[in-house]
Amino acid sequence: MSVLVNKDSKIIVQGFTGSEGTFHASQMIEYGTNVVGGVTPGKGGQTHLDKPVFNTVEEAVKQVGADTTIIFVPPAFAADAIMEAADAGIKVIITITEGIPVADMIKAADYIKDRNCRLVGPNCPGVITPEEAKVGIMPGFVFKKGNVGIVSKSGTLTYEAADQVVKQGLGITTAIGIGGDPIIGTTTKEAVEMLINDPETKAVVMIGEIGGQLEADAANWYKASGSKKPVVGFIAGETAPAGRTMGHAGAIVGGSDDTAQAKKKIMRACGIHVVDSPAEIGKKVAEVMA
């Protein structure tokens, strides 16, 4: 088992023929991901990377049975791409695009909420189930197959955590990059819940950062669930000053309850194994799984 994506996922790439889309789609295909085509409005009927190009997501769903999409569409048009995918019946919508206006995401989040789909991102590295499907921009070789699930707001910090886990002789079931924007589809709590409920996943790594309440919500859910699966946590940004945006649009301390210290306190109180040093993530995972 795994969550969100696996070897049977039928994946399309929106923004397929652009430079980002082309580069990462070819990396995904090389990894062995089941990419069944792509969408670029106006280029329908062409072939790109040996896969069919469609004008609309609806055509891709009808003709090749797409159920998962990865979006590389530029920020000004990305929210529209998300809504198009949801309308066409795509089940998993993974949005890599960084810099989407908040107002556009408010609209898109509202549009998709009653449709039967799950959004991951935006501004995220994507989702990977090792040896099955890489639906994102992460370096595939870092992620070896195993029993540890990873949830993270950040890209390179996810790779760092996965690398540390793998160096402990362990591996990954699925790593989910949920993104660092103020409005994201899948929350930390939802991602942790999926992994806790996945029989193959034996432990979860949850990496957060300053800003917002997502980690506290996830921690409270974990405590209430009574799950015995260990969760290892880290929150980046203990040294970040209040009121400044640290790279990710959502990474900003707004009050006393969204600092790294406050989040770690709640997580500890909920039974999560919190590490203060980002260099200790892998070691702690090995310890709690021993």
Partner 1 sequence: MNLHEYQGKELLNSFGVRIQRGIVAQNADEAVAAAKKLTEDTGTGWHVIKAQVHAGGRGKGGGVKLAKSLDDVKTIASQIIGMDLVTPQTSAEGKRVHQVLVAEDVYYPGDSEPEEYYMSVLLNRGNGRNMIMYSTEGGMDIETVAEETPHLIFTEEIDPATGILPFQARKVAFNLGLSGTAFKEMTRFVTSLYTAYVKSDSSLFEINPVLKTSDDKIMAVDAKVTLDDNALFRHKDLAELRDLREENPIEVEAGALGLNYVDLDGNVGCMVNGAGLAMATMDLIKQAGGEPANFLDVGGTADAARVEAAFRIILKDPNVKAILINIFGGIVRCDRVAQGVIDAYKNMGNIEVPIIVRLQGTNADIAKELIDSSGLDVKSAVEFQEAADKVQAVLA
Closer to partner 1 by Cβ: residue 129 or 158: 158
Is 43 among the annotated ligand-binding positions?
A: yes
248 is catalytic: yes
Closer to partner 1 by Cβ: residue 52 or 121: 121
Closer to partner 1 by Cβ: residue 71 or 207: 207
d(CA 56, CA 198): 33
Shortest distance, position 84 Cβ to partner 1, whole Å: 18
Closer to partner 1 by Cβ: residue 114 or 228: 114
- For the chain, the distance separating the N- and C-terminal CA atoms, rounded to the nearest angstrom, is 22
Residue from 145, 105, 144 nearest 121 by CA: 105
Shortest distance, position 286 Cβ to partner 1, whole Å: 14
Q: How many helices (H) and strands (E) does the chain have?
A: 9, 14
In the chain, which ranges are continuous DSSP H helix?
Answer: 19-31, 57-64, 75-87, 102-112, 156-167, 188-196, 214-225, 260-269, 281-289
Is 209 among the annotated ligand-binding positions?
A: no
Is 140 among the annotated ligand-binding positions?
A: no
Task: Enumerate the β-bridge partners of residue 129.
Answer: 133
Is 96 among the annotated ligand-binding positions?
A: yes
Applying CB under 8 A, the residues found at the interface with partner 1 are 27, 75-76, 99-107, 109-110, 137-139, 141-142, 152-160, 163-164, 180, 182-183, 207, 209-210, 212-213, 234, 236-241, 243-251, 255, 260, 276-280
Shortest distance, position 247 Cβ to partner 1, whole Å: 3
Shortest distance, position 26 Cβ to partner 1, whole Å: 11
Shortest distance, position 250 Cβ to partner 1, whole Å: 7
Closer to partner 1 by Cβ: residue 27 or 227: 27
* CA-to-CA dists, residue 216 to 35, 200, 210, 278, angstroms: 36, 25, 11, 19
Both tokens of residue 44? Answer: 């329908």
Ordered DSSP codes for 88-115: TT-SEEEE------HHHHHHHHHHHTTS
Phi, psi of 275 (to 5 degrees): -105, 140
d(CA 233, CA 254): 21
* CA-to-CA dists, residue 12 to 177, 228, 258, angstroms: 18, 37, 36
Is 18 among the annotated ligand-binding positions?
A: yes
Asked if 116 and 90 touch (Cβ cutoff 8 Å), the reply is no
- Give the catalytic positions in this structure: 248
Q: Which residues does the annotation place in the binding site?
A: 17-20, 43, 96-98, 159
Q: Which residues does the annotation place in the binding site for substrate?
A: 159
Q: Which residues does the annotation place in the binding site for CoA?
A: 17-20, 43, 96-98
